[in-house]
Structure 1
Amino acid sequence: MAFLQANIYSNILEMEVSLNIILPQRTEKKIGTTTKGKMTDVPVMYLLHGMGGNHSVWERRTSIERYVSDLGLAVIMPSTDLGWYTDTTYDMKYWTFVSEELPSICHELFPQLTTQREKTFAVGLSMGGYGALKLGLAKPENYGAVASLSGAVDLAGRVEDLLSIRGRNYWEGIFGSLEKVQGSVNDPVFLLEQLIKEQKEVPNIFLCCGEEDLLLHANKKMDALLTAQNIVHTFETGPGNHDWVFWDTWIQRVLEWLPLEK
């Protein structure tokens, strides 16, 4: 595997953005792992950080590079600040960046990446879990599978939880009036309902959450909604809280779940 650190310019955000990238590379080692695999049409996973994180946090807090070493999978880890993968009211278009511009730039810089929906995935934790699910539901034509680890997947229905984390000015700077998030393009429940109404194909969805995590109720609610709508998905829980001990363990489960040629 090759590990790259890149600084790219985003025309959408009008600023430099940092990326960490893991790419498959054919290697023959006397000590360690020998990596073989396709160097074209490479499956790609966009791996999103949570609040307080950045492009480097998955690499620093987990063994993600080692976990994907034999999978032939490219991993794109962008920094998106505290923008909640949303086009904010203060005119920072993080949603447009991550959903449109970032894939375009990555395919320009790394032409070996697949363009097939079935081999393109979005995964994230907490805020990034919200972002990954949002990508899958708002751009279902682009993603074959999405996974949310401890995701804030019901933020529209739990305004009081948001206000316990940061003040109203912060949240309304991102989403506008919090009372209007429900039923908007920033509401995963609304996005799911629109997909069902339009009879569009829903990506494979994986949800997981720690049994001691405050966001467990939100994930149970999303699981119940998906079940009620007969949407095929996976929901799993296990011991753990909202922390890297849980995420380092469960990203391995996500990689097992992804439809990769193993």
Structure 2
Amino acid sequence: MAFLQANVYSNILEMEVSLNIVLPQKTEKKIGTATKGSLSDVPVLYLLHGMGGNHSVWERRTSIERYVADLGLAVIMPSTDLGWYTDTTYDMNYWSFISEELPKICHELFPQLTKKREKTFAAGLSMGGYGALKLGLAKPENFVAVASLSGAVNLADRPEDLLALKGKKYWEGIFGPLEEMQGSINDPMFLLKQLVADKKEAPKIFLCCGEDDPLLYGNKMMAKALSEHDLEHTFETGPGNHDWIFWDQWIQRVLAWLPIESEKKA
């Protein structure tokens, strides 16, 4: 595997953005992890950070590079600040960047990456879990599977969860008036209903959350809604809280769940 650190310019954000990238590389090592992945049409996972994190946090807090070594999977880890994968009211369009511009930048810089839906995935934790689910529901034509680890996936229905973290001014800077969040593009429940109404092909969805996590209730409600709409999904809970002990363990479960053709799974 190759681990790359890049600074790219976003025309949408009008600023430099940092990325960490794990790319399959054919290697032969006497000691370590030899890899033999394909170097064309490479499946790709967009892996999103949570609040307080950035492009480096998955690499620093987990063994993500080692976990994907035998999967032939590229991992793109962008920094999106505290923008909640949203086109904010203060004119920083993080949603447009992550959903439209970032894939174009990555395909320009790394032409070996697949452009096929059936090989493109998104996942994230907490704020990033919200972002990954939003990508899957709002852009189902681009993602075959998305995973949310301890995601804030029902926040439009539970503004009290938001206000427990930061003040109202912050959240309204991101989303606008909180009372108008329901029924908007920033409401995953609304995106779910819209996807079903439009009869679009939904991605496979994986939700997981720790049994002691304050976001567990919201994840249960999202899982219930997915069941009611008969969408293919997996919802699992286990011991743990809203922390890296849980996420390091469960990202391995997510990787095993992803529909990847690989030497390890063969």
* Equivalent in the alignment of 1:160: 160
Deviation at 1:156, TM superposition (A): 0.2
2:204 & 2:17 partners in 1: Cα distance?
29
In the TM superposition, what whole-angstrom CA distance separates every residue of 1:180-227 from its partner, at most 9, and x where no partner exists?
001101000000100100110110000000000000000000010111
* Equivalent in the alignment of 1:115: 115
Q: For 1:10-159, what aligned pairs fall within 5 Å after superposition?
A: 10-159=10-159
1:196 & 1:15 partners in 2: Cα distance?
36
2:215 & 2:33 partners in 1: Cα distance?
37
2:6 partner SS? strand
1:99 & 1:136 partners in 2: Cα distance?
10
1:85 & 1:191 partners in 2: Cα distance?
14
Q: For 1:106-255, what aligned pairs fall within 5 Å after superposition?
A: 106-255=106-255
Deviation at 1:33, TM superposition (A): 1.6
1:234 & 1:240 partners in 2: Cα distance?
18
Structure 1 gaps of 5+ residues are none
Query: What is the letter of the counterpart of residue 5 of structure 1?
Result: Q
1:41 partner SS? coil
1:165 partner SS? coil
2:33 & 2:86 partners in 1: Cα distance?
39
1:160 & 1:127 partners in 2: Cα distance?
16
Runs ≥4 residues deviating over 6 A = none
Query: What is the letter of the counterpart of residue 187 of structure 1?
Result: D
Query: What is the letter of the counterpart of residue 78 of structure 2?
Result: P
Scaled by the length of structure 2, the TM-score of the pair is: 0.98
1:157 partner SS? coil
Deviation at 1:37, TM superposition (A): 1.5
In the TM superposition, what whole-angstrom CA distance separates every residue of 1:113-162 from its partner, at most 9, and x where no partner exists?
00000100000000000000000000000000000000000000111111
2:164 partner SS? helix
Deviation at 1:19, TM superposition (A): 0.2
Deviation at 1:232, TM superposition (A): 1.2
1:45 & 1:146 partners in 2: Cα distance?
9
Scaled by the length of structure 1, the TM-score of the pair is: 1.00
2:233 & 2:4 partners in 1: Cα distance?
33
Structure 2 gaps of 5+ residues are none
Query: What is the letter of the counterpart of residue 13 of structure 1?
Result: L
Deviation at 1:32, TM superposition (A): 1.2
1:161 & 1:131 partners in 2: Cα distance?
17
Query: What is the letter of the counterpart of residue 7 of structure 1?
Result: N
Over the residues paired in the alignment, what is the CA RMSD in angstroms?
Answer: 0.4
Query: What is the letter of the counterpart of residue 114 of structure 1?
Result: T
